[in-house]
């Protein structure tokens, strides 16, 4: 059929014209309608595609591919219940066809039921063991489920079946990157780009690998290739911004970082707001709604900008994550502090929290580092100090060794508690756990772990954690919200940083302009925490001895 030939040639409008002409000749052909739906879906018109698939099903209610393609299209429209209904109707009508199982898995993936999706795809792989496209789908789902070793073996199997399968190479590069096998990942991605020099996804993955290797000039060159192919690629601009920021180039960094609002993930965060975005002009008595947008650590770090908004002549409403509400209630510059999910008051303009540095033209010399900028409730702080005093003499050191596992870089920034065991040899230190949630189970599971006092069940929110930190002599943490909290309170804090750091920690410095009370201990080679822990132990030993001599 001419319409299908034209579709395969990428001539979509000509294909649509040919298929519509065919419909005039054969108005009761579900096949033509399905093909027409396919072209509209490829053209970015899912709503029109849905209408054609549904017309096909009125002509043949058991048409398997109409159900399958409709299911996939409804997934794109986020109508997952209807999508699953049509995928299951395809299963009833046509059995365990590959396309049907793939559609069911697609629905499960978009519901983030990755185990269900894997089960479906593994069934498909047993039925169709030599299908490389299916294996790539399975490999990508393994990555979504964070089973990266399985992804690597599955994608290598796809490449055995189809050695020049560029999509398999690209996804293999990504899986190897997630496993920190960066040299292998780069080799695979370069091979993909040799086969397809216009594959922007491979350039983006390559740039991420180069960032992981701290080859920032190479990463910027890779992003340059992306922008030649796709000048408005928002996710590439966003990551490119973080490369500029970690290099200390804030002017280019903030500009590129602002592209995040063109990304679907971030657009969804603000989809319910109807008021305009504030551009830094005088407020003239209007209400400005400042909303947290990323992690709790980001909110703690950038809350420092709220006191600077007072000169704009408006009323400031600050929306934060619920665990921060009580802590932020005393923040200068915020007239109202509310938790995410609470009804918002009337607002005139709004601004995302992490857009404030760009609006205020922050550079390395103008970072607002007034200290401390968060306040502690006196009563709980006094109660915690009494309990800490009852532990006896010696340094009281708070410890957090793991961050949020949902963070994209958590596998690099977090560590196992066992790795900190050498710190137990430092005399004159009493260890206090600040580890909430994931990671806390390691206290009991690790026989060689530090002996920790664990009161974290009583740390009901960050205001309570802040009150406990106020009584400590030192906080030791990986790059997580606890480190930001201690820094915002101007408490001594030592932060352990991975080889390829988050942009805010810059490069190679042992201090940070964001937090005057913070000291940075950095990995010198990728993934190796042992020298970091040894350096911390040496410095902690000196601090403990100095503290002991002062006490006597």
Residue 353 belongs to some domain of the structure: yes
Kindly state whether residues 60 and 181 are assigned to the same domain: yes
Tell me how many domains the chain contains: 3
Kindly state whether residues 413 and 545 are assigned to the same domain: yes
- DSSP conformation letters of 75-142: HHTT-HHHHHHHHHHHHHHH-S-HHHHHHHHHHHHHTT-HHHHHHHHHHHHHHSTT-HHHHHHHHHHH
How many other C-beta atoms lie within 10 A of the C-beta of residue 448? 11
Residue 259 belongs to some domain of the structure: no
The first and second tokens of residue 316, run together, are 């400031």
Kindly state whether residues 225 and 283 are assigned to the same domain: no
Q: Which of 300, 331, 301 lies closest to 316, judged by CA? A: 331
CATH code of the domain covering residue 97: 1.25.40.10
**Dihedrals φ, ψ of 168, to 5°?**
-65, -40
Angle between helical axes of 98-110 and 114-127 (0-180°, round to 10): 170
Residue 234 belongs to some domain of the structure: no
Q: Which of 95, 119, 93 lies closest to 107, judged by CA? A: 119
CATH code of the domain covering residue 386: 3.40.50.2000
| Length of the chain as a residue count | 552
Kindly state whether residues 337 and 403 are assigned to the same domain: no
Whether the CB-CB separation of 270 and 451 falls below 8 Å is answered with no
What b/e sequence results for 213-243 when a residue is b if at least 16 CB atoms lie within 10 Å of its CB, and e otherwise? Answer: bebbebbbebbebbeeeeeebbebbbbbbbb
> Which of 229, 258, 283 is the C-terminal boundary of a domain?
229
How are the residues of the chain apportioned to helix, strand and coil, as percentages rounded to the nearest 5?
60, 10, 35
Kindly state whether residues 344 and 388 are assigned to the same domain: no
From residue 446, alpha-carbon distances to 62, 230, 413, 530 in Å are: 57, 49, 20, 17
Kindly state whether residues 216 and 298 are assigned to the same domain: no
> Which of 359, 394, 415 is the C-terminal boundary of a domain?
359
Kindly state whether residues 350 and 438 are assigned to the same domain: no
Residue 347 belongs to some domain of the structure: yes
Which residues pair with residue 349 across a beta bridge? 288
Kindly state whether residues 352 and 386 are assigned to the same domain: no
Instruction: Summarize pLDDT for 388-444 with one digit per residue, the tens.
Output: 999 988 899 999 999 877 777 777 889 999 999 999 999 999 999 999 988 778 887
Rounded distance between C-alpha atoms, residue 540 and residue 434, angstroms: 18
pLDDT at 2 (0 to 100): 45
CATH code of the domain covering residue 319: 3.40.50
Residue 320 belongs to some domain of the structure: yes
pLDDT at 56 (0 to 100): 83
Residue 364 belongs to some domain of the structure: no
Q: How confident is the prediction along the chain (552 residues), in pLDDT tens digits per residue?
A: 544 534 454 555 655 556 556 666 677 787 877 777 777 787 788 888 888 888 888 889 999 988 999 999 999 888 999 999 999 999 888 878 899 999 999 999 999 999 999 999 999 999 999 999 999 999 999 999 999 999 999 999 999 999 999 999 999 999 999 999 999 999 999 999 999 999 999 999 999 999 999 999 999 999 999 999 999 999 999 999 999 999 999 999 999 999 999 998 888 888 788 899 999 999 999 999 999 999 999 999 999 999 999 888 899 999 999 999 999 998 999 999 999 999 988 999 999 999 999 999 999 999 998 889 999 999 999 999 999 999 988 899 999 999 877 777 777 889 999 999 999 999 999 999 999 988 778 887 765 668 899 999 999 999 999 999 999 999 999 999 999 999 999 999 999 999 999 999 999 999 999 999 999 999 999 999 999 999 999 999 999 988 766 665
Kindly state whether residues 57 and 176 are assigned to the same domain: yes
The radius of gyration of the chain's CA atoms, rounded to the nearest angstrom, is 28
Range of the domain at 319: 273-359
> 3-class SS at 271?
coil
From residue 367, alpha-carbon distances to 82, 233, 305, 328, 481 in Å are: 50, 29, 10, 20, 19
Kindly state whether residues 100 and 144 are assigned to the same domain: yes
> Which of 328, 359, 390 is the C-terminal boundary of a domain?
359
pLDDT at 44 (0 to 100): 81
Residue 244 belongs to some domain of the structure: no
> Which residues, 6 or more positions from 58, have their beta carbon under 8 angstroms from its beta carbon?
none
Whether the CB-CB separation of 152 and 176 falls below 8 Å is answered with yes
Kindly state whether residues 348 and 415 are assigned to the same domain: no
Kindly state whether residues 446 and 479 are assigned to the same domain: yes
Instruction: Summarize pLDDT for 28-59 with one digit per residue, the tens.
Output: 787 877 777 777 787 788 888 888 888 888 88
* Alpha-helix residue ranges (DSSP H) falling in 213-307: 216-229, 234-246, 250-257, 264-269, 296-302
- For residue 338, the surrounding DSSP H or E stretch is strand 336-339
């Amino acid at each position: 059929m001419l319409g299908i030939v034209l579709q395969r040639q990428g001539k979509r409008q000509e294909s649509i014209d040919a298929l519509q002409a065919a419909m005039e000749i054969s108005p009761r052909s579900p096949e033509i309608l399905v093909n027409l739906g396919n072209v509209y879906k490829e053209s970015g018109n899912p709503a029109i595609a849905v209408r054609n698939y549904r017309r096909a099903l009125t002509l043949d209610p058991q048409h398997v591919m109409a159900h399958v393609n409709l299911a996939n299209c409804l997934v794109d429209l986020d109508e997952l219940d209807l999508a699953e209904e049509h995928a299951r109707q395809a299963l009833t009508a046509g059995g365990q066809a590959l396309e049907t199982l793939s559609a069911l898995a697609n629905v499960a993936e978009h519901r983030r039921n990755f185990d269900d999706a894997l089960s479906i795809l593994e069934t498909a792989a047993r039925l169709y063991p030599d299908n490389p496209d299916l294996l790539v789908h399975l490999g990508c789902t393994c990555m979504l489920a964070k089973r990266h070793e399985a992804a690597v073996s599955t994608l290598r199997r796809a490449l055995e079946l189809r050695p020049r399968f560029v999509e398999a190479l690209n996804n293999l590069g990504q899986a190897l990157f997630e496993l920190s096998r960066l040299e292998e990942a780069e080799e695979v991605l370069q091979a993909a780009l040799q086969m397809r020099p216009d594959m922007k996804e491979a350039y983006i993955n390559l740039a991420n690998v180069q960032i992981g290797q701290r080859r920032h000039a190479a990463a910027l060159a890779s992003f340059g290739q992306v922008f030649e192919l796709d000048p408005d690629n928002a996710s590439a601009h966003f990551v490119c911004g973080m490369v500029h920021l970690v290099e200390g180039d804030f002017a280019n960094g903030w500009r590129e970082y602002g592209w995040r609002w063109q990304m679907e993930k971030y657009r969804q965060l603000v989809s319910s707001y109807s008021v305009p975005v504030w551009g830094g002009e005088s407020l003239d008595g209007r209400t400005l709604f400042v909303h947290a947008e990323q992690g709790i650590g980001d909110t703690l770090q950038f809350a420092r900008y709220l006191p600077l908004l007072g000169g704009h002549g408006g009323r400031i409403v600050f929306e934060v994550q619920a665990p921060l509400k009580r802590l932020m209630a005393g923040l200068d510059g915020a007239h109202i502090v509310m938790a995410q999910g609470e009804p918002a008051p009337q607002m005139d303009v709004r601004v995302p929290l992490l857009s404030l540095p760009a609006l205020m033209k922050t550079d390395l010399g103008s970072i607002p580092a007034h200290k401390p900028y968060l306040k502690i409730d006196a009563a709980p702080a006094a109660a915690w100090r009494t309990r800490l005093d009852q532990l006896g003499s010696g340094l009281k050191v708070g410890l957090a060794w793991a961050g949020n596992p949902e963070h994209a870089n958590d596998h690099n920034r977090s560590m196992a508690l066992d790795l900190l065991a050498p710190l137990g040899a430092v005399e004159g230190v009493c260890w206090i756990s600040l580890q909430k949630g994931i990671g806390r189970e390691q206290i009991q599971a690790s026989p060689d772990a530090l002996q920790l006092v664990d009161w974290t069940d009583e740390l009901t929110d960050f205001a309570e954690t802040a009150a406990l930190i106020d009584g400590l002599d030192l906080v030791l943490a990986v790059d997580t919200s606890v480190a930001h909290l201690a820094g915002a309170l101007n408490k001594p804090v030592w932060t352990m940083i991975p080889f390829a750091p988050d942009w805010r920690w810059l490069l190679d410095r042992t201090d940070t302009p964001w937090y005057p009370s913070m000291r940075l201990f950095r990995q010198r080679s990728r993934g190796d925490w042992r020298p970091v822990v040894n350096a911390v132990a040496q410095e902690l030993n000196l601090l403990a001895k100095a503290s002991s001599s002062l006490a006597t």
